[in-house]
Every structure is written in C-alpha cells, then in structure tokens.
Amino acid sequence: MFPLTEENKHVAQLLLSTGTCPRCIFRFCGVDFHAPYKLPYKELLNELRKFLETEKDELILEVMNPPPKKIRLQELADSIDNLSQNGEGRISVTQDGSIASKNSNLNVCNVCLGILQEFCEKDFVKKVCQKVEASGFEFTSLVFSVSFPPQLSVREHAAWLLVKQEMGKQSLSLGRDDIVQLKEAYKWITHPLFSEELGVPIDGKSLFEVSVVFAHPETVEDCHFLAAICPDCFKPAKNKQSVFTRMAVMKALNKIKEEDFLKQFPCPPNSPKAVCTVLEIECAHGAVFVAGRYNKYSRNLPQTPWIIDGERKLESSVEELISDHLLAVFKAESFNFSSSGREDVDVRTLGNGRPFAIELVNPHRVHFTSQEIKELQQKINNSSNKIQVRDLQLVTREAIGHMKEGEEEKTKTYSALIWTDKVIQKKDTEFLNDIKDLKIDQKTPLRVLHRRPLAVRARVIHSMETQYVDEHHFRLRLKTQAGTYIKEFVHGDFGRTKPNIGSLMNVTADILELDVESVDVDWPPALDD
C-alpha cells in the first residue's frame, strides 16, 4: 500500500516540483516504516506518479523563494518522467578506485544530493561489498556506518522551513523531529542489501565496521554563511580539516533565527548538477586482546624495547619476542603491550610468570580454535630460550582490568642475592626472619626519576626469609606489596628508602641478583597443558 495520504498530497507535489526525490518526500511526510523506502527507484517513481494524478487542469503552489509561480500538471508529469530515469543510473569504479556515476542525465535531489537515489541501489551496494571482500578481513557480522556532507543538514533545514510554511496554510504543523532522519532511511534501505550480499547480519555491536564517507564539492559552500551569523559555533579543533563539521552546523541551525536563515539560503534549495562522490570506503576491525603469563630467564633482556636518544641498546625485548608472532598470525596493523608490573633488564621472572596482555589493533584474522592458540604459544616458546609463555588465550577488553588491579593491590615474592661490606655471620641475618609487615617510605628512585614523578610512596614488606651463604653474602626471600622497589629497599638509594636492609643490619648492602618468584594475580585463568 502506498504510504502517502491525501493529506500529504499537497506537500508531496510541492517537494517534487522543486527538485526533491521521492524518498526524501517520504521523510518529510513522516513515513517511518521501512517497506516503501526499499522499493526500486523506478517503481517508486511510478507509484508516486499515480498518487499525484489529479483531475484539475492546473495546481498553484507557493514557495518562499523564488516568488509564487504556476506549475502546470504537464510540467509536473514531465519532471516525474525525467526523474524516473534516475532508476537507470549505474555505478562504476574508476581507475583510481573511487566510485562514480555513469548517469549523466540524473536529476539530483536538492535535499539528499543523490544519497537516497543512486547510493542505496543494489549496484552501489555490490561495489562496496566487493571492496569489503577484497580487504581480507575475517568477520561474521558487521556494523555499517556512513558519513554525509554537513551541507545536507542545511539543505534539509531549508526544505523543512518550506514544508512547514505550506502545512501552516492548512493549519498543520511539522516539527524537525517529525522528519525521518536521512541516515535512518539510508540504513533501512541498505542494511538488508549489505546483509544479503555479504551473507552476514548487520549488528550494531559487531567489532567489524564498514564505513563510507560521502562528499559533495559542488555545494561545499552551503554552510559558510552560518559562520558569519553564528561564529561561536565554528571553532577550530585538532584533527579536524574543516570547522564545518556536522555537529557545528547542527548547533548553528538550532541557534539561527528563521528569518535570518531565509535571507541567506534559498528555500527550496537549488538543484545541484551532480550527485555526491564517495571519498572513501574503509574496513576496520576492533581490537582483539590476547593474554597470558611469561617467564623471563635472561638477565640481559628488557621487558620493552630499550631505546635511548633514538639508539637501540639491546637487540630484543620480552614484548617483541611475544608480539611479533601475534602480529603475524592475527594480521594486525600494530599492538599495545601491557603487564602486571615490570622487571628490570637484569631481573629474571620465574615461578608461574608475570601476567601480560596484548591489544592487537585492526586484526584481519580473529577466529582461532583453542588448539591453534596452543600451537601459537608453542611457536613463541620454540623461538627463544630467553622467555617462555603459558596460559595464552583470547580475552575481552574488560577482563584486562583484573590484571591492572594486581599492579597495586596484590603481593609479589622476590629472591635476592645480597652483598655486605662487613663480615657477617648467620646470626646477623636471622632477625630479619622475625620482621612482619614492615612499613617503609620510598622516594622515587634516582634510576627512574626521569620517567616517574617525584613522590614518597608508602609500601609494606610483609615477610622476609634469609639464607646464609658466606661472610659477605646471603639470600633474602621477600613477600612485598606490589609496587615496592626491591633494589632500593636493599641498598637504600642514598637514604631515599627508609628503613632499608643496610640500615637494619648497620652495614653497606647491595644487591647482586634479583628474581621475581611470583606475581600473585589470579589472572588470566590457568589452562590445562
């Protein structure tokens, strides 16, 4: 059933005669169900022609600008005949990859600039889908987004004022919220077509996004008069090529008085010569996250690349030994590495290892079986004797919060080999075993002051256990609050950590070796080998 009623006929005739396409006419008549918009364009125009047939010889329509004029029914019929050619328009991909129209006789809608004409037909959808399939992404659903030129909002505003005045003559009203949004109508038409062509559902929560950006160079100056009337709405912003963003234009349109708008912009809007162009079609996949625990067995391996003043100090890092494999397998553009704390370059991480997570940005492959992840873990472990990875698994972004909580809230266990300047006996170290929950104050260590703010941090040494080695050496096993600087607790850092092993034993102490024995964070979940 045709969606317009007799009540809509006058507005429909007005809009069509001034250059508006049938689908935009539906929008301004408040048609909010999908089916009519999905009709093929030629069929839609034929139905509209039948609806607008009248027994009267002529119809007088008044518009704000230009002055009132007579529009004969024959002229109206001719315009419909011309518009019906729009359904024959064909889309092609040019040599540079952009998408263009082959229909030079198109009567372009003065409101949507062709968006609801050529760009929601099956030919265009097929061309977009070809680019999606050629992109190499793995996906089982998608979210489809579009970006329209900001001047469409100006043209829609002008058409709204035109229709509002015409309806006012019939004692009817039309609020801006009564108009179906262009983006909504576009998605009603195209979503089923994309879903059918690609064989996957459209899902607003999908991590895979296909975005199409439209432009219309011919009418780009439509917005410029707003900047003179509402200058405070158009302020330069970082990462924005133009101040005339959709949000800024809408803000100005909400602010401008109707009479000021009508003085500056034609109502109805002028008909353009060409349809919109497609600036870009982009495919992107939201990040996926891989977590696990790593052991570090080398005392000459930093956690992250060690680069000072642009010069690399060591050839590799824990981050790279793990992430390089993940980047290749997931076909990701880049990655971000994070972990529950970090160890120094000369510190080993033993026991169950340190929890880590890697964000893989824009991955092209995202579906893996548990067996494939196990094989990836084995590949990492076979590639180097400096590290080993366990419990490798896919996780959610939210789950990473459990790891970050452990950085400050959990405990960590260390083993240190300590040297003293004075000769010591076993009894000189035994008193440390009896100290529980020792509170210390640590001023930011000198060695990290270049990358950490100066502050005094209160930390707790929960327990200590000593093992005598010889007159100048003993081993110290400590359980501490996460975030404790162990080396500084041993040697004192020139008095910046108080108390410290040196002050407690009344000796000069230094640390020769340090191992992380456990990071007490119950994440990620342990997996069976």
Tell me what the mean pLDDT of segment 194-220 comes to.
Answer: 96
Within this chain, do residues 388 and 328 fall inside the same structural domain, yes or no?
Answer: yes
Closest CA to 381 of 318, 339, 329: 318
pLDDT on residue 405: 73
Within this chain, do residues 316 and 339 fall inside the same structural domain, yes or no?
Answer: yes
Given 375, 408, 441, the domain boundary residue is 408
What does pTM read for this prediction?
Answer: 0.82
236: in domain: no
Per-chain mean pLDDT for the chain: 89
CA distance between the termini of the chain:
63
Within this chain, do residues 188 and 139 fall inside the same structural domain, yes or no?
Answer: yes
Q: In sequence order, what are the beta bridge partners of 411? A: 481
Is 344 annotated as catalytic? Answer: yes
pLDDT on residue 70: 37
DSSP codes of every residue in 307-319:
EETTEESSS--HH
Within this chain, do residues 171 and 46 fall inside the same structural domain, yes or no?
Answer: yes
170: in domain: yes
Question: Which of 32, 123, 344, 346 is labelled catalytic?
Answer: 344
CA-to-CA distance for 393 and 373, rounded, in angstroms? 7
Within this chain, do residues 387 and 275 fall inside the same structural domain, yes or no?
Answer: no
190: in domain: yes
Within this chain, do residues 423 and 502 fall inside the same structural domain, yes or no?
Answer: yes
Within this chain, do residues 383 and 508 fall inside the same structural domain, yes or no?
Answer: no
Q: What count of residues does the chain have?
A: 529
337: in domain: yes
34: in domain: yes
Within this chain, do residues 417 and 353 fall inside the same structural domain, yes or no?
Answer: no
Within this chain, do residues 14 and 154 fall inside the same structural domain, yes or no?
Answer: yes
Q: Three-class SS of residue 417?
A: strand
DSSP codes of every residue in 325-338:
HHHHHHT-SEEEEE
CA-to-CA distance for 489 and 408, rounded, in angstroms? 17
Cis amide leading into 524 (omega within 30): yes
Count structural domains, the chain. 3
Q: Answer whether residue 67 shows pLDDT above 60.
A: no
Q: Answer whether residue 99 shows pLDDT above 90.
A: no
Given 385, 408, 431, the domain boundary residue is 408
CA-to-CA distance for 448 and 445, rounded, in angstroms? 6
Neighbour-count burial for 430-444, b at 16+ CB within 10 Å, e otherwise: eebeeeeebebebbb
Within this chain, do residues 147 and 179 fall inside the same structural domain, yes or no?
Answer: yes
Within this chain, do residues 391 and 422 fall inside the same structural domain, yes or no?
Answer: no
231: in domain: no
- Write the CATH number for 309: 3.30.70.2510
247: in domain: no
DSSP codes of every residue in 429-466:
HHGGGG-EEEEEEEE--GGGTTTS---EEEEEEEEEEE
- Write the CATH number for 514: 3.30.70.3190
Given 347, 381, 408, the domain boundary residue is 408
pLDDT on residue 231: 92
Range of the domain at 168: 6-54+106-222+265-285
Tell me what the mean pLDDT of segment 330-344 comes to.
Answer: 95
Within this chain, do residues 402 and 417 fall inside the same structural domain, yes or no?
Answer: no
- Residues contacting residue 11 through CB under 8 Å, at least 6 positions apart: 25, 28, 29, 163, 166, 167
Q: What pLDDT digit, counting tens, does each position of 224-267 carry?
A: 999 999 999 998 877 677 889 999 999 999 999 999 999 999 99
